[in-house]
Amino acid sequence: MRWALLLWPGLALGIVSIASAQGDAVEADSARPLNILWISVEDMSPWLGCYGDPLAQTPNLDALAAEGLRYTQAHATSPVCSCARSTLITGCWATAIGSMHHRAGKPSSAAVKRNPAAYAAIPSYEATPPPEVRCFPEILRMAGYYCTNAAKRDYQFREPVTVWDQSNGKAHWRNRPNPSQPFFSVFNLATTHESRTFPKAKRNPKVTDPAHIRVPPYYPDTPLVRQDLARTYDNIAAMDQQVGEILGQLKQDGLLEETVVFFFADHGVGLPRGKRSSYASGTHVPLIVRLPGGKSATVERLVSFIDFAPTILSLAGIQPKDWMGGRAFLGRHEVKGRPHVTFHADRMDSETDRTRAITDGRWRLLLNLMPDKPHLYPVAYANSIPMMEDIKKLQASGQANAAQWQMLLTPKPPRELYDTQADPHEVHNLIDDPQHTERAAALEKTLRVWMQATGDLGLLPEGEMVRTELWPPSGKQPTTEPVTLTPAHGLACATPGASIGWRVTGAKVWWVYEPSTVLPEVPEIEVVAHRIGFKPSKRRRMTPWD
pLDDT in tens, 136-179: 999 999 999 999 999 899 999 999 999 999 999 999 999 999 99
> Do residues 149 and 265 both lie within one domain?
yes
Structural domains of the chain, count? 3
Average pLDDT over residues 356-364: 98
For residue 6, is pLDDT > 50? no
> Do residues 287 and 357 both lie within one domain?
no
The pLDDT > 90 percentage for the chain reads 88
* Measured distance CA(130)–CA(466) in Å, rounded: 14
Domain of 466: which CATH number? 3.30.1120.10
Question: How would DSSP label each residue in 105-154?
Answer: SS--HHHHHH-TTTTTTS--------TT---HHHHHHHTT-EEEEES---
For residue 7, is pLDDT > 70? no
> Do residues 293 and 412 both lie within one domain?
no
* Measured distance CA(418)–CA(409) in Å, rounded: 21
- Is residue 477 one of the residues assigned to a domain? no
Average pLDDT over residues 26-36: 69
> Do residues 7 and 37 both lie within one domain?
yes
The pLDDT > 70 percentage for the chain reads 94
Q: Where are the beta strands (DSSP E) in 113-258?
A: 146-150, 166-167, 183-189
Q: How confident is the model at residue 436 (pLDDT cuts 50, 70, 90)?
A: very high
Letter for the amino acid at 269?
A: V
> Do residues 78 and 213 both lie within one domain?
yes
Write down the pLDDT at residue 409: 78
> Do residues 377 and 236 both lie within one domain?
no
Q: Which residues contact 51 (CB under 8 A, 6 or more apart)?
A: 70, 72, 286
For residue 398, is pLDDT > 90? no
Full residue range of the structural domain in which residue 362 is found: 345-470
Contacts by 409-415, CB closer than 8 A, 24 or more apart: 409/374, 409/376, 410/374, 411/371, 411/372, 411/373, 411/374, 412/368, 412/371, 412/372, 412/373, 412/374, 412/375, 413/368, 413/371, 414/367, 414/368, 414/371, 415/365, 415/366, 415/367, 415/368, 415/440, 415/444
Q: How confident is the model at residue 31 (pLDDT cuts 50, 70, 90)?
A: low
Phi, psi of 156 (to 5 degrees): 75, 10
* Measured distance CA(320)–CA(309) in Å, rounded: 8
> Do residues 155 and 284 both lie within one domain?
yes
Q: Give residue-wise pLDDT tens across range 46-76.
A: 999 999 999 999 999 999 999 999 999 999 9
* Measured distance CA(441)–CA(430) in Å, rounded: 12
Which class for 156: exposed (0-12), middle (13-18), buried (19 or more C-beta within 10 A)?
buried
Q: How confident is the model at residue 351 (pLDDT cuts 50, 70, 90)?
A: very high
Strand duo 341-345 + 303-304: pairing = unpaired
> Do residues 252 and 367 both lie within one domain?
no
Task: Name the average pLDDT for the chain.
Answer: 93
- Is residue 476 one of the residues assigned to a domain? no
Helix (H, G, I), strand (E, B) or coil at 271: coil
Q: How confident is the model at residue 545 (pLDDT cuts 50, 70, 90)?
A: low
Q: Closest Cα to residue 256, out of 265, 246, 264, 266?
A: 246
For residue 446, how far is the Cα from the chain centroid?
23
> Do residues 208 and 323 both lie within one domain?
yes
Write down the pLDDT at residue 269: 98
Q: Where are the beta strands (DSSP E) in 348-414?
A: 355-359, 363-368
Q: Closest Cα to residue 431, out of 423, 421, 441, 445?
A: 441
Write down the pLDDT at residue 32: 81
- Is residue 165 one of the residues assigned to a domain? yes
> Do residues 451 and 499 both lie within one domain?
no
Q: Closest Cα to residue 375, out of 316, 306, 427?
A: 427
Which class for 300: exposed (0-12), middle (13-18), buried (19 or more C-beta within 10 A)?
middle
For residue 380, is pLDDT > 60? yes
Write down the pLDDT at residue 16: 28
- Is residue 534 one of the residues assigned to a domain? yes
| Domain C-terminal end among 303, 336, 369 | 336
81 is catalytic: yes
> Do residues 167 and 64 both lie within one domain?
yes
| Domain C-terminal end among 317, 336, 355 | 336
Annotated active-site residue in 50, 81, 92, 135: 81
| Domain C-terminal end among 336, 355, 377 | 336
Domain of 505: which CATH number? 2.60.40.10
Domain of 27: which CATH number? 3.40.720.10
Least confident of 11-15, 212-216, 317-321, 428-432: 11-15
- Is residue 124 one of the residues assigned to a domain? no
For residue 24, is pLDDT > 60? no
Strand duo 284-290 + 69-75: pairing = antiparallel
Contact between residue 119 and residue 189 where contact means Cβ atoms under 8 Å apart: no
> Do residues 167 and 289 both lie within one domain?
yes
Letter for the amino acid at 187?
A: F
Average pLDDT over residues 373-382: 92
Q: How confident is the model at residue 430 (pLDDT cuts 50, 70, 90)?
A: very high
Q: How confident is the model at residue 415 (pLDDT cuts 50, 70, 90)?
A: very high
Strand duo 363-368 + 297-299: pairing = unpaired
* Measured distance CA(270)–CA(43) in Å, rounded: 5
- Is residue 109 one of the residues assigned to a domain? no
- Is residue 76 one of the residues assigned to a domain? yes
* Measured distance CA(94)–CA(106) in Å, rounded: 17
- Is residue 478 one of the residues assigned to a domain? no
